[in-house]
Chains A and B, each alone.
Chain A
Amino acid sequence: MIRLVVNGKQMQFDGDPDMPLLWYLREDAKLKGTKFGCGIGQCGACTVHANGAALRSCTAPMSALDGADIKTIEGLATGDKLHPVQEAWIDEDAPQCGYCQAGQIMATAELLQRIPDPSDKDIDDNISNLCRCGSYYRIRKAIHRAAKTIQGRE
Chain B
Amino acid sequence: MVKNIGRREFVKVSLIGGSLVASIPLTSCMDTDALPAATSNTAGNRNLGVFVRINPDNTTTIGAPTAEMGQGTFTSMPMIIAEELDADWARTDVALMPLSLRRVSDGDDVSDAGYEGVDYAHAYQGAGGSGSVKRNFSYLRKAGAQVRSRLVRAAANRLSVPVEELRTENSYVIHDATDQTVAYGELAEAAVALADVDSVELKHASEFRILGKYQKIKGCREIVTGAMTFGQDCELPDMLHAVLIRSPYFKGTPLSFDDVATRAVPGVLDVIRIDRQWPDDAHDGEVLLHGAVAVVAETLWAALKGRSALKVEWDRGPFADESTEMVEAECRELLDGRISSEADRRTEGDVDTALLNAERVIEADYAIKPLAHVCMEPHSAIADMRDGQRRILAAHQFPERAAHCAAKICGCDPMDVRVETARMGGGFGRKFAPDYLSEAIWLSHRLQKPVKVTWTRDDDIQQDAFNRPGMSRLRAGLDENNNVVAWDHTIAGHTTQSDNFPADVVPNFRVRYLRSNTGMWFGPWRGPGHNTIGFVIQSFIDELALATGRDPLEFRLAMLGEERALPFQGWGADVYDTGRAANVLKLAAEKGDWRGRGELPPGRGRGIASHFTFGSYCAHVVDVRVSEGELEILRVVSAIDCGQAINKLGIEAQIQGGAIDGLSAALHQAIHVRNGQVVERNFDTYRMMRIDQTPRHMETHIVDSDANPSGTGEVGLPPVIPALTNAIYAATGKRIRSLPIADQLKA
Q: Residue A124 contacts which of B654, B688, B692 (CB distance < 8 angstroms)? A: B692
Residue B657 interfacial (CB < 8 Å): yes
B460 and chain A: residue at smallest CB distance: A38
Bound Cα distance A89, B72 (Å): 16
Contact A31 B217 (CB under 8 A): no
Question: Known contacts A34-B226, A96-B653: does B376 contact A45 (CB below 8 Å)?
Answer: yes
Judge whether A66 is part of the interface by a CB distance below 8 angstroms.
no
Asked if B196 is at the interface of the complex by the 8 Å CB criterion, the answer is no
Residues on A with C-beta less than 8 A from B691 are 123-124, 127-129, 136, 139-140
Complex interface: chain B residues within 8 A of A63 (CB): none
Q: When chains A and B are docked, how far (Å) is the Cα of A139 from the Cα of B654?
A: 14
Give chain B interface residues in 679-698, CB to chain A under 8 Å: 682-684, 688-692, 694-696, 698
Q: Which of B275-283, B422-430, B574-582 contacts A (4 or more CB under 8 A)?
A: B422-430
- Taking CB atoms and an 8 Å cut-off, the chain A residues in 103-144 that contact chain B are 105, 120, 123-125, 127-140
Cβ proximity bits A2-33 to B, threshold 8 Å, 1 near / 0 not: 00000000000001101100010011000111
Give the residue name and chain of the A residue nearest to B636 (CB).
A137
Minimum distance in angstroms from B232 CB to a CB of chain A = 6
Q: A27-B299, A93-B220, A136-B660 known; A74 and B225 CB under 8 Å?
A: yes
| Complex alpha-carbon distance, A72 and B221, angstroms | 16
Instruction: Tell me if A's interface is mostly helix, strand, loop or mixed.
Output: loop
Per the bound structure, the CA–CA distance linking A27 and B194 in Å amounts to 47
List of B residues within 8 angstroms of A131 by Cβ: 376
* A-B pairs with beta carbons under 8 A, tally: 176
Q: Is A100 at the interface (CB under 8 A from chain B)?
A: yes
Indicate if the CB atoms of B661 and A128 lie closer than 8 Å: no
Take A16-B301, A18-B305, A39-B456 as given contacts and tell me if A86 and B224 are in contact as well, using a CB distance cutoff of 8 Å: yes
List B287-311 residues whose CB lies under 8 Å from chain A.
299-301, 304-305
A98 touches B70 (CB 8 A): yes
- Tell me whether A27 and B661 are in contact in the complex, defined as CB-CB below 8 angstroms, given that A39-B457, A93-B653 are known contacts: no
Interface size on A, residues (CB 8 A): 57
Q: Tell me the complex Cα distance, A137–B224, Å.
A: 17
Query: Is B656 interfacial (CB-CB < 8 Å)?
Result: yes
Indicate whether A33 sits within 8 Å of B688 (C-beta atoms), given known contacts A93-B649, A97-B426. Answer: no
Question: How many residues of B sit at the interface, in one of the four size bands?
Answer: 35 or more
Q: Is the CB of B217 within 8 A of A93?
A: yes
Q: Which of A76, A123, A127, A131 lies at the interface centre, i.e. has the most chain B CB atoms within 10 A of its CB?
A: A131
Contact indicator A27/B224 (Cβ below 8 Å) = no
Contact bitstring B142-176, A, C-beta under 8 A = 1, else 0: 00000000000000000000000000000000000
Bound Cα distance A22, B217 (Å): 28
Q: Which residues of chain A are within 8 angstroms of B229 by Cβ–Cβ distance?
A: 32
Given A36-B232, A95-B217; A134-B376 close (CB under 8 Å): no
User: B70's contact among A33, A97, A123, by CB below 8 Å, is which?
Assistant: A97
Q: Quote the shortest CB–CB distance from A65 to chain B (angstroms).
A: 15
Contact with A along B412-428 (1 / 0, CB 8 A): 00000000000111111
B377 within 8 Å of A by Cβ?
Answer: yes
Nearest CB of chain B from residue A48's CB, rounded to whole Å: 10
| Residues of B close to A33: CB separation below 8 A | 225-227
| Residue pair A101, B223 in contact (C-beta under 8 Å) | yes
Verify B426–A99 contact, CB threshold 8 A: yes
* B254 contacts chain A at the CB level, 8 A cutoff: no
Structural contact, B226 and A72, CB atoms closer than 8 A: yes
Asked if residues B694 and A43 are in contact (CB atoms below 8 Å), the reply is: no
A32: contacting residue among B217, B233, B304, B427, CB under 8 A: B233
- Whether, in the assembled complex, B658 has its beta carbon less than 8 Å from a beta carbon of chain A, the answer is yes
Contact with A along B372-391 (1 / 0, CB 8 A): 00111110000000000000
Chain A residues near B266 (CB-CB < 8 A):
16
- Give which listed residue, B220, B305, B376, contacts A97 with CB less than 8 A: B376
Q: Quick one: closest B residue to A77, CB to CB?
A: B225
Is B69 part of the binding interface, using a Cβ–Cβ cutoff of 8 Å? yes
Establish whether residues A93 and B216, one from each chain, have CB atoms under 8 Å apart when the complex forms: yes
- Residues in chain B near residue A15, CB distance under 8 A: 301
Residues from chain A with a CB closer than 8 A to the CB of B378 are: 36-37
Asked whether, in the complex, the Cβ of B656 is within 8 Å of the Cβ of A134, the reply is yes
The 3 closest A-B pairs by CB, nearest first: A33-B226, A99-B425, A97-B70
Selected A-B contacts with CB under 8 Å, 27 pairs: A31-B226, A35-B376, A40-B457, A43-B376, A45-B376, A74-B227, A82-B225, A89-B224, A93-B216, A96-B70, A96-B654, A97-B68, A97-B70, A99-B377, A102-B224, A124-B692, A128-B690, A130-B688, A130-B690, A132-B664, A132-B688, A133-B70, A133-B661, A134-B661, A136-B691, A136-B694, A138-B656
Give me 14 other A-B pairs in contact (C-beta within 8 A), A33-B226, A35-B425 excluded: A32-B232, A33-B227, A39-B682, A73-B226, A86-B225, A96-B71, A105-B224, A129-B690, A130-B683, A132-B664, A132-B688, A134-B658, A139-B691, A140-B691
Chain B residues near A (Cβ < 8 Å): 68-72, 216-217, 219-221, 223-230, 232-233, 266, 299-301, 304-305, 374-378, 423-428, 456-458, 649, 653-654, 656-661, 664, 682-684, 688-692, 694-696, 698
